[in-house]
Chain A
């Protein structure tokens, strides 16, 4: 299957700082990218959907000013957690899809906010 990478794989930051997570599709053009987060012992929750070159569409309850998503190219999307707080600590997973094809997931980024 297609490969999606994420960087970093884990990050620890201080409360109030911003953290950027990169998501890359390595062998396909991700016309759509998705960001999920997963809290311990829970399932994945969709945060936002972004189409290349367009503004992201956020799910209800997800603050767009806090979770900034950029999808500037067909192979790269970034998620920036601004002014991170301990409750933002979670496992963030990106996913990409080319058109109507299968959706592939990255390995995830574990964020710990102290």
Chain B
């Protein structure tokens, strides 16, 4: 699976949009971009995933660049409960293969 690079930490004011970047310059054509987050002392929570089109759901939006070498997760109106470690993972969608976690970005939302 392609390697991803994320900033170790980011801060965001409550109510503002949080834009979390992810670099995956070695991504191959059949690899998807997945985002998960882990709130302290809990299991990871699925947020969103995409292949090449931008995606939006009730939690977030995922913007993937045209060359697919980077992406941005957008939390439109961050709240204190969004404070967590956010993981960007690139993987082939194939039965039996696991997600491999990097170090992620620690997002701190403050009032």
**Main DSSP-derived SS at the A contact region:** strand
Query: Contacts A31-B95, A32-B96, A46-B98: A103 and B46 contacting too (C-beta < 8 A)?
Result: yes
Which of A4, A6, A51, A103 counts the most chain B CB atoms within 10 A? Answer: A103
Please pick, from A1, A31, A49, A99, the residue contacting B98 in the complex, using a CB distance under 8 A: A49
Query: Contacts A46-B100, A99-B95, A100-B93: A1 and B46 contacting too (C-beta < 8 A)?
Result: yes
Query: Interface size class for chain A?
Result: 20 to 34
Q: Bound state CA distance, A3 and B99, in angstroms?
A: 17
Q: Closest Cβ of chain A: how far from B1's Cβ, in Å?
A: 12
Query: Contacts A43-B103, A100-B93: A93 and B44 contacting too (C-beta < 8 A)?
Result: yes
Q: Is B111 located at the chain interface by the 8 A CB criterion?
A: no
Find out whether the CB atom of A100 lies under 8 angstroms from the CB atom of B43.
no
Q: Is B76 located at the chain interface by the 8 A CB criterion?
A: no
Residues of A within 8 A of B87 (CB): 43
Find out whether the CB atom of A107 lies under 8 angstroms from the CB atom of B43.
yes
**Main DSSP-derived SS at the B contact region:** loop
Q: Is A105 located at the chain interface by the 8 A CB criterion?
A: yes
Closest A residue to B45 using CB positions? A105
Which of A44, A91, A108 counts the most chain B CB atoms within 10 A? Answer: A44
Find out whether the CB atom of B95 lies under 8 angstroms from the CB atom of A93.
no
9 nearest A-B residue pairs (beta carbon): A105-B43, A44-B101, A43-B101, A105-B44, A34-B98, A108-B43, A107-B43, A100-B93, A93-B43
12 A–B contacts, CB within 8 A, in A order: A36-B101, A43-B102, A44-B38, A45-B101, A51-B96, A97-B95, A100-B93, A104-B46, A105-B43, A107-B43, A108-B42, A108-B43
